[in-house]
Structure 1
Amino acid sequence: MGDFPAALDATDRKTPSLSERFEALEREREQSWPAEALAINRNQRALLVREHDLSSRPGVGDRFPDALLTGLDGTQLTYPQADGKPSVLIFFRFAGCPACNIALPYYRDHLFPELRRLDVELIAISPQPPQLLRAISEAHQLPFAVVTDEGLELSRKLGITYEYDEPSRQAAIEKGIDPRSLNGMDRWELPKPAIYVLDRKKHIIFRDVSPDWMQRTDFGPIVEASKKITDVEDLWKG
């Protein structure tokens, strides 16, 4: 696999931040997409922002719900695992999602090295079937686990799923997209991009959910939350 570059501060002007990369993608779409397609995309995202509400869902201080996840090799594992490492969970939409193909390699280069140094596990989660989800892991040589949340069971417990609005469904159908290729089901449902940082006892110490999938958590706050876990554990050891 080779060594990955050390994490860079998001303010380092030699490398674009995650938000700058999404801004570039949006500008490219403004120039290349038909106006109607761009409006459908933006209207769906704006609707999700307006309706976003996690007030009754697991948040900071709560224990993370149990779930059965499936690895790319088909192996199933119960999560959270007892006596496991602290962990960072990245929820993303599907392998062909352009924004996900910006975010995951960015996390590979800037987040993963810092978490590895802190001995914090990184797991990326999507509802897409493993045989299709494998594409994004292989394309970007992701060094962390990529797993399937079958039936969106975990994402629903967390309250982070959304359904395509009617214009978005019709646009996807016209492109030949089947919802089963996205989530293994007949429902047009996906997770909102989300980050959860968990301590060893699987309590949530940081949560950031993005109803607009073109806005995602940069690596800095995730690393800072992870450092707090390891700092506390160092105190216990002392």
Structure 2
Amino acid sequence: MTSTNTTIAQRVELMHQSMTGQIPESALAAFGAEQADLTSDGIPEGVARAGTAMPDADLLDVHGNPTGLYAAFAGKPAVLVIYRGAWCPYCNLALRAYEEQLAPALTERGIGLIALSPQKPDGSLTMAEKNDLTFTVLSDPGNQIARALGVLTAPTDQVREAQRSLGLDLSAFNADNGYGLPMPTVLVIDGDRTIRWIDVHPNYATRTETTDILTALDILD
């Protein structure tokens, strides 16, 4: 059992230990190779920088209703969490940690918290319900935001085959029926819709820690 004070990295390590013997070695090897390559490649050139405008996009809420990113900001500062989908165990760990450790602090400061993925609205609803999330969860069909920020990627053929061997076909989960995925990214956006801080994790097995986000919020003062 994890404590609410446990870091995301610690939660991931516990999850990795529990996976031993639960996932075929061939799939683990494919995922491990992908993660190593993503780490080696690093952050892509052209990723959005602090001080630039946050792009808007046509999004969907958990019920499939049209909305926009600016509408979700509601004119106030926000932390935007871009994740892969409810099917991703690392995303579940991260969003659960943000609910426990980040959401209360943001509410006290009048700062919004929004999670965004390319999955269909029912996947967003699953993510919210499964992890008892109190913050806004939205779908971004076609990875509009990830593409605009320069953090769009896609699994290799070997990884897609490993995913299928585990019963996962991304095209059935993504709202555009494609295979594009965002690199996990957290942004701090001010009330003028300007990016004040951005943290990109090419290797999806690592995530932005809550303490780093809370420290970054100081730039809004």
Give the CA deviation at 1:69: 1.5
Give the CA deviation at 1:180: 2.6
Residue 115 of structure 2 corresponds to 124
- Of 97, 106, 123, the residue aligned with 1:106 is 97
Match status 1:21 vs 2:45: no
Change (3 A) 1:114 1:176: same
Between 177-186 and 62-71, the greater mean CA deviation after superposition: 177-186
Match status 1:165 vs 2:193: no
- Of 72, 86, 90, the residue aligned with 2:62 is 72
Match status 1:195 vs 2:183: no
Give CA-to-partner distance per residue, 1:18-76, whole Å, 9 cap, x none.
11111111222244333222111111111222223343121111111121221112222
Give CA-to-partner distance per residue, 1:66-101, whole Å, 9 cap, x none.
212211122222222487100100011111211111
Match status 1:53 vs 2:43: yes
* Contact 2:5–2:101 (CA under 8 A) maintained in structure 1: no
Give distance in 2, aligned partners of 1:124 and 1:14: 20
Residue 10 of structure 1 corresponds to none
Give distance in 2, aligned partners of 1:79 and 1:96: 23
Give distance in 2, aligned partners of 1:51 and 1:80: 32
Aligned partner of 2:181: which letter?
Answer: L
Unpaired stretches in structure 2, ≥5 consecutive residues: none
Match status 1:156 vs 2:147: yes
- Of 106, 112, 117, the residue aligned with 1:115 is 106
Give the CA deviation at 1:114: 0.6
* Contact 2:43–2:201 (CA under 8 A) maintained in structure 1: no
TM-score by length of 1: 0.85
Match status 1:92 vs 2:69: no
Match status 1:136 vs 2:136: no
Moved over 4 A (4+): none
Match status 1:33 vs 2:23: yes
Unpaired stretches in structure 1, ≥5 consecutive residues: 1-12, 232-238
Between 160-169 and 110-119, the greater mean CA deviation after superposition: 160-169
Give CA-to-partner distance per residue, 1:194-215, whole Å, 9 cap, x none.
1010011111111111111111
Change (3 A) 1:46 1:37: same
Give distance in 2, aligned partners of 1:109 and 1:176: 30
Aligned partner of 2:58: which letter?
Answer: L
TM-score by length of 2: 0.91
SS in 1 for 2:87: coil
Residue 9 of structure 1 corresponds to none
Give distance in 1, aligned partners of 2:198 and 2:185: 7
Residue 218 of structure 1 corresponds to 209
SS in 1 for 2:116: strand
* Contact 1:120–1:226 (CA under 8 A) maintained in structure 2: no
Give distance in 2, aligned partners of 1:140 and 1:176: 22
Give distance in 1, aligned partners of 2:145 and 2:4: 38
